[in-house]
Structure 1
Amino acid sequence: MPFTQSVIVVPNFLLVRSADHVLLGVSWSGLSITETRADGMPVLEAVGDDARLVLTFPPQHLAEETSRREQAAPQFLPSGSGTLVPVWRAALSGPSRLVFRLPRGTTLVPTVDGILQAVGRGRPIPPVSPPGATDTALELPWSMIFSVEDRLGGHAWTSVHPVLPVTVAGVSGLWRARLVADLPDPTAPAQDASLALRAIDRATAQSADPGFSLPLGMVERTRLADNARSRPAPATRLELTSLGGTLSAAGRWDAFEWEHEAVLGRDVRVRTVTSGVLYPLGHRAKYVELSERIFDQTAGHAAVLRSKYVLTVIEPVRHPPPEGPATRAFPFGDVEITTLGYPNIEEAAWQDFTHPVTGRVHRGVYFQPHTPAPNRRPVLFPVRCEASPGDVHFQLPLWFVADVSEPGFTSLTDPALAKHLADTVYTPHTVTLPGLSLDLVRAAQRGGGDVHEVHGITVKGSLQPTGYRPVLSALAVRLPALRTLLGDDELHKVSFTQDYLNQGATQDVLLNLVTPFDICFVGRSDRSGGLVAPRYRVNALSRTEGPVNLDVRPASGAGSIDPARLFPADATLLGFALKDLITDLKAPPAITSELHPGRPPETTMEWKGVKLKENGPFKPADGSTLDLKVTASAAGSDTSCTVHDFALVLPSPSKRLLQLRFASLSFTHHSGGPPRVQVGEVDVTFLGELELLQKLGEAVDLSDTGPRIEVTPAGLVAGYTLPLPVVPAGVFVMRDFALNTEISVPFDGRPVSVSFGFASRENPFTLTVLMFGGGGYLELELDHTGLRRLEGALEFGAMVAVDFVVARGEVHAFGGVRYEMAGSKVTLTGYLRIGGCVEVLGLVTVSVELCITLAYQSTTMALVGRATLVIEIDLTLWSDSIELDSGTWVLAGGGDRERGFAAPRAVPREAAPGLERWRDYQAAFAPVI
């Protein structure tokens, strides 16, 4: 980009000499004509101390487009022959000026030779910034405005140029003005004789690029201008011609390097090196842009500029900072980038940063390294983190943050930039890990809760006194304890608690759960000790207690937890709401794991000495407690749950029918064996309407009777049976009388229930008196909600047998009643069985059995009846049976007011000849509606 119009000097005269291509603009001030030569040329003389001579050169640099070596030409234009020619674009620089002060009395003849002689007698004028219309200003390279100094910091330089054409063998060389230092001390070292270029126009350096890639882009020019303004860049060769300038310069500063080789206005080699760090890890690195002119075969062997972009990590390993929040937020030791060189990345797409406080725009502060097109994607840097028990390897995208130091701003220490990078630029990157056991605390003495099974980490960055440092904003963990106990294999997202980050290993709660969840043993109490089914919400992970709920803990950290805030209604102990039984609660069950590489974790769930209080039917003694311990490891698993010293008053304190006092009730399970329920000393007391059974209960010591254990997926049942011997008393005989009791422990959270039975429906007791007989049973089941089931039946009747030699038979008649209550449903059933059998000479046998039942159903408030008749005939060579069923007959009530027998059950015609006539006969007795 040329100079702005305000700094362009319009020369008064144009010097042209075709023999050696002199083409200069010239102007002067402070000169007066003192005489005229014989040839008519005036002679000018410096009559004051401020006489100036200004030489204006044509553009000294051509900014050419550069591209990657493997890329095709950016454009193809048709040639005169019809073929396409690869084309690279370019832009001309503006003019350059050399300004000299002429000493008083210096004469000048306004010819090419005279002016060039006067330049040799002049002295350069010290530079100013920004340059004025009559100040020395060289635009070489494009959009970089320099002033010339000697390397010692003075302005003793001069222009060495031929006054007359240099001709050899009839050929004149190109005229050039070579700028050299004019040191007064001839003994000075040779390097001190070189020039120095001082940047004097930052605004021009920040001019936008012309729309294509340059060897020295706007960001690099700005960086060069900032550095070469305070410390000029040495130049070993600087020549100006009408065809362009020749430059050899190399500047090295703390955070930036620049090397430039240009011949006759065209770049040969340009190299820049920018120092910075890789965010968020903070490793120091250098970004190199190298552009070289090569004879490119893909461009028809034309000499074009090709560039390569290289990123090099110069600090492979970073050690952890001193103990503090940054160390705790990234629980690793040394952090190493294992690949140091990235020689084939895309050209940096530099991003500017506008400071939110000052409003100043800082150019080219950061960029994200990418692989080149067509598969453009962020570069993934391989990272090794020292961890316990083993190193962690992963890949991470990083951003390059350049070392930028400007008034009021330093890129690597500015909090506003750090916040901008963390909140806006760097997307927190989640790294997937293969379930590594990582010590997240790295304390001197490791605890079981310090090590977690980590499946992912989310990395962010933060600014610390030691520079940019990574932090883990989140981790994805699995909880082996819950996987072992509940089969929970979900990934849980967690983050470090602020208290731990601030205070370190003195804090017990290590991690916050981003999404709280429920630990639920409801319906799976076999995994939590059978007797208890806890359920509670957790939102954090403690180092000693495992999953915990911080919201229910006392604000002061001391005191008890309100069980009603922790446990919902479906969390139970023996079927009672857990929140109503626990008092003086210090913590929920502690669920912890010990992780060991290469073998299963050791998981423990323990809840010890939990004090219980009275609630409803549950009556604890003074020392009533709950103890729970579940362990699982490679050696096996053990479960133990015991409730000590309590009583159950059933169905409720206001309706006392039965009291069971337990010294203890225990559930145990060892791997490889069945679960067991052990009942300590039991005291059974019948109360109220059941007081008549008290003496029988006192005669039965259930604790001395071995239990019958039945385990199913639904629960566990411990049963006791006490058979009584046959009791004969004259004509009275009572047999099959047994006392049964069962304790049912469901695994789905339902309440524990107790049932008692005197005989059973399957095995009723019998009582015979001569030819009369009867029997029955009584069963009841209770839990804390009340009487769940009551069922009993009594049967009576007689049986008579006769034998007349040629014929014999029997006839019987029985009646009975059965009462059944299940919840709110009550069924009362009465039945009558009448039948007989006759056998004649052993050839013909006929038997008849008629059963009539009447039942009251409380749910439908209906009285229903049913009759079944079975007739069997055996004629030696032929036998058959007929069963007639009336179906259900609604006698009264119910939703169906129609009364009558249902259609008899269908019987195949071939199986019962004459059945149709029987049906006709039966239909004749059907009631008429």
Structure 2
Amino acid sequence: YLRQRQFIVIKQKERTYAPGSFAHQGREMPFRQLIRFKTRVTPNLDAPVYIPDSGGSHWIEVEKKPFIFHLHARDIEDQIIDFHGGGIFVPHSVLGSGQADRFRKIRDAYAMHEAAASENDLGPTARRISVPNQRVAFAPRDPGKDGNTLLDTEGIYLLARETGNAPAFPFTPYLEVAEVRIPAADAVAGGQGLQSIQLFQKYLNSSQGLSAPDNPGGVFAELLNSKPVKFAAEQAGGLATPNLNMSGLSQHLGPIAGTLDDIASGSFDPVDFFNGMEAKLLGGIDLFEIIQAAAGAGFDAQIPKLNVKPIPAPPAIPERIEASLKWQPAVQPFGPFEPTNNTDLTIDVLLTQYVSDSPPPPSSRIEGVLTNFDINFADIITITFDELRFVKEDNKKLDVHVDIPDDGIKFGGPLKFLNELEKYLDPASFADPPVLDISPSGVTVGYTLMLPPLAVGVLTLKDVGLGAALSLPFGGGPEDKMRVRFNLSERQAPFNLAVMIFAGGGFFAISLGADGLEVLEIALEFGGSASLDIGVASGGISVMAGFYFKLERNPDRIELTAYIRLNGYLSVLGIINISVEFYLELSYKEFPGGKSKLTGRATVTVKVEVLFFSASVKMTVERKFSGNADDPTFSEMLEPGDWFEYGEAFA
């Protein structure tokens, strides 16, 4: 019988692609020089399964698996790169036929073949070219800038493009996707795994590559899926460590985020760069809103840069890997934040990973410093900061240092008079002298000023206190909000006002947050009294009325209470005493969701004393004029079993 076997012998062992054979002068192909087959002869091949309408082309397979060739080539920086991959056998007659439709059939069959690889299986496939953990240069570096384009590469995927320069060999390969590791991101975030990148189109289109004037950002690659690089360390108080939403790679900037066209063009927008990530400063100031967008020659300094280095440096064996980020962006006014000409913002991050046989856990240190700035709350209170510093280290509490000068608290607007009163009033007049309370959670500053009693004719005013306080929390959470509070006396210590037989009192307080009103409280009480004594009998009457109002936000809540109280008494020779009190109250409460309740209550109390005998009667009536569905019904409050048990107790 006749036995037939097929195998492939590589005759042209090397090939170099001239830059002119590529659409982008070779920038699209890292391996284009001295591509050399290390595999010279294949084993016996499986019977070919031809690609339809391809002129006899087929995948090269052995034992129903793609046969993997061993090759090496020189990359853009003339490094020898070793790699493995499969392929399609194309008969020479097809190559020289000039039949473009056949080439497209072959190209499409190659492109549609399964190309995926997993983190656990990084071996070569028919489509995936394995480049096991080798540093590949993906673009010629710009000699005028620091950095490089070397990436730890695990695999690449190639495609072919038609070319008319060589009819006998009518295609050139180009890089579709590369699977790489990004050391800076891995060191900071504790390992991000493989990243899929493709070459940046603006780099490909420019004949000057990374030296092109329209690409000062040096962007050469973009990630197929934007990847957040989240720092493993905690936030340094309100000056949060920036988490990069990585979208591309630059020669001198490293991992970058935001819109790559903008970065490549030399412009930087921090809001776009961090892609909606939040960091709050001093209880409500958006960190990214105070950072200036930058363009032109100075934009490089605005972009956070990751630097990774082994300690000690090669050729010594490293004991640890240090990843550092230093960010010094320019700032701008926003909301209550008012920078000066000397304002500086610096964020330093140092993350250390140990590489010994029994390494200790990774460590981190994050420091944020903001100097020479003012916080101006609605031109009412202004606080000057010489320095605000946060330091956070592993297993240590947040260390906060605040430096406010002696004259760093100024009142303005309707409270400007407090600055003048301080000059003339005895310090004893201040119930609390100018308050400055600094704690790890925040800064509180304020005044409480007790005014002296005032008597003008029949009018007497006393116990009047003026207070103002500003709270600046260091945290950036939703509960950490900047707030200011003003008050005229207090609920527990109201002012007193008397005009002849009429007297009353009250208080007023308002709390404002960075986003508006938080709490408003008002209370006022007024009334009068009169008495009569004719010897054998004496008596008196008093009438008091008042109201209390409270408006609260987040959650929305309104409370309004009004009341009237009437008292009367009569005494005859001290033997018979009669007193009557009538109290009427109307209360309105509004709850979140628009639900409300209106309640009325009336109470009458009568007390009679005759010699050694006394009796008192009190009657109360309460009516709910308006309610809401949140009030539980009787059946909701008692289960049937509980009701039967209750009833049996009286049976």
TM-score under structure 2 length normalisation = 0.56
1:511 Cα offset (Å): 0.5
Partner of 1:98: none
CA distance in 2, matches of 1:486, 1:776: 58
2:392 equivalent to 1:661? no
In the alignment, structure 2 segments of 5+ residues that lack a partner are 123-131, 311-316, 354-361, 450-462, 497-504, 527-543, 566-582, 604-618
Map of 1:181-200 to 2, 5 A cutoff? Answer: none
Report the AA paired with residue 401 of structure 2: Q
Deviation string, structure 1 residues 44-91 (Cα, Å, up to 9, x no partner)? xxxxxxxxxxxxxxxxxxxxxxxxxxxxxxxxxxxxxxxxxxxxxxxx
2:135 equivalent to 1:439? yes
CA distance in 2, matches of 1:605, 1:619: 26
2:67 equivalent to 1:379? yes
Partner of 1:105: none
Map of 1:856-867 to 2, 5 A cutoff? Answer: 856-857=588-589, 864=598
Deviation string, structure 1 residues 779-798 (Cα, Å, up to 9, x no partner)? 764443334335588999xx
2:6 is aligned, of 309, 323, 327, to: 309
CA contact (8 A) 2:436 2:443 kept: no
1:329 is aligned, of 24, 29, 40, to: 29
Percent of aligned pairs with the same amino acid: 17
Partner of 1:789: 519
1:608 Cα offset (Å): 1.2
Report the AA paired with residue 400 of structure 1: F
1:542 is aligned, of 240, 245, 250, to: 250
Partner of 2:262: 553
CA distance in 1, matches of 2:621, 2:194: 63
Return closer, same or farther for 1:384/1:314 CA change in 2, 3 Å cut-off.
same
Partner of 2:460: none
Partner of 2:224: 514
1:399 is aligned, of 73, 88, 94, to: 88
Partner of 1:531: 239
CA distance in 2, matches of 1:743, 1:783: 10
Partner of 1:235: none
In the alignment, structure 1 segments of 5+ residues that lack a partner are 1-303, 355-362, 711-716, 725-733, 769-774, 797-813, 834-850, 870-883, 917-929
CA contact (8 A) 2:177 2:197 kept: yes
Partner of 2:328: 608
CA distance in 1, matches of 2:188, 2:434: 32
TM-score under structure 1 length normalisation = 0.42
1:458 Cα offset (Å): 1.9
Map of 1:487-502 to 2, 5 A cutoff? Answer: 489=192, 492-498=195-201, 500=203
CA contact (8 A) 2:219 2:260 kept: no
SS at match of 2:380: strand
CA distance in 2, matches of 1:760, 1:392: 80
Map of 1:370-769 to 2, 5 A cutoff? Answer: 370-372=61-63, 376-381=64-69, 396-404=85-93, 409=96, 421-423=106-108, 425=110, 427=112, 429-430=115-116, 438-441=134-137, 450-452=149-151, 454=153, 456-461=155-160, 471-477=174-180, 489=192, 492-498=195-201, 500=203, 503=208, 506=211, 508-516=218-226, 527=235, 530-531=238-239, 539-545=247-253, 546-550=255-259, 553=262, 557=265, 560-561=267-268, 574=281, 575-576=284-285, 578-579=288-289, 582-584=292-294, 586=299, 589-592=303-306, 594=308, 602-612=322-332, 614-634=333-353, 636-651=363-378, 656-681=379-404, 683-691=408-416, 694=419, 707-710=438-441, 717-718=442-443, 742-748=471-477, 752-755=481-484
SS at match of 2:238: coil
CA distance in 2, matches of 1:525, 1:886: 61
Map of 1:867-882 to 2, 5 A cutoff? Answer: none
CA distance in 2, matches of 1:777, 1:525: 47
CA distance in 2, matches of 1:433, 1:313: 32
SS at match of 1:553: helix
SS at match of 1:347: coil
Return closer, same or farther for 1:857/1:704 CA change in 2, 3 Å cut-off.
closer
CA distance in 1, matches of 2:620, 2:351: 59
Deviation string, structure 1 residues 369-389 (Cα, Å, up to 9, x no partner)? 2235xxx3432345677899x
CA distance in 1, matches of 2:112, 2:632: 80
Return closer, same or farther for 1:826/1:426 CA change in 2, 3 Å cut-off.
closer
CA distance in 2, matches of 1:340, 1:702: 91
Return closer, same or farther for 1:423/1:748 CA change in 2, 3 Å cut-off.
farther
CA contact (8 A) 1:370 1:377 kept: yes
CA distance in 2, matches of 1:478, 1:748: 33
SS at match of 1:673: coil
CA contact (8 A) 2:238 2:280 kept: no
SS at match of 2:2: strand
CA distance in 1, matches of 2:320, 2:620: 64
2:552 is aligned, of 822, 827, 836, to: 822
Report the AA paired with residue 374 of structure 2: A
Map of 1:11-410 to 2, 5 A cutoff? Answer: 304-313=1-10, 326=26, 329-330=29-30, 340-348=40-48, 364=56, 366-372=57-63, 376-381=64-69, 396-404=85-93, 409=96
1:495 Cα offset (Å): 0.5
CA contact (8 A) 1:441 1:505 kept: no
Larger Rg: 1
Deviation string, structure 1 residues 606-625 (Cα, Å, up to 9, x no partner)? 4313131x344433323444
CA distance in 2, matches of 1:832, 1:657: 37
Return closer, same or farther for 1:720/1:620 CA change in 2, 3 Å cut-off.
closer
SS at match of 2:330: strand
Return closer, same or farther for 1:448/1:430 CA change in 2, 3 Å cut-off.
farther
Return closer, same or farther for 1:512/1:657 CA change in 2, 3 Å cut-off.
same
CA distance in 2, matches of 1:816, 1:561: 59
1:476 Cα offset (Å): 3.5
Return closer, same or farther for 1:348/1:582 CA change in 2, 3 Å cut-off.
same
Return closer, same or farther for 1:742/1:352 CA change in 2, 3 Å cut-off.
closer
CA contact (8 A) 2:249 2:256 kept: yes
Report the AA paired with residue 544 of structure 1: H
Deviation string, structure 1 residues 807-854 (Cα, Å, up to 9, x no partner)? xxxxxxx99986544336443557999xxxxxxxxxxxxxxxxx9986
1:306 Cα offset (Å): 1.4
CA distance in 1, matches of 2:412, 2:74: 71
Report the AA paired with residue 348 of structure 2: K
1:681 Cα offset (Å): 1.9
Partner of 1:87: none
CA contact (8 A) 1:460 1:470 kept: yes
**Number of equivalenced pairs:** 518
CA contact (8 A) 2:563 2:586 kept: yes
1:398 Cα offset (Å): 1.4
Larger RCO: Structure 1 or Structure 2 (Cα < 8 Å, ≥ 6 residues apart)?
2
CA distance in 1, matches of 2:434, 2:133: 48
CA distance in 2, matches of 1:886, 1:867: 6
CA distance in 1, matches of 2:383, 2:345: 18
Report the AA paired with residue 512 of structure 1: E
CA contact (8 A) 2:135 2:152 kept: no
SS at match of 2:66: coil
1:345 Cα offset (Å): 1.4
Report the AA paired with residue 339 of structure 2: P
Return closer, same or farther for 1:383/1:517 CA change in 2, 3 Å cut-off.
same
Return closer, same or farther for 1:307/1:566 CA change in 2, 3 Å cut-off.
closer
Deviation string, structure 1 residues 849-883 (Cα, Å, up to 9, x no partner)? xx9986543566967559899xxxxxxxxxxxxxx
1:646 Cα offset (Å): 3.0
CA distance in 2, matches of 1:327, 1:496: 9
CA distance in 1, matches of 2:81, 2:41: 21
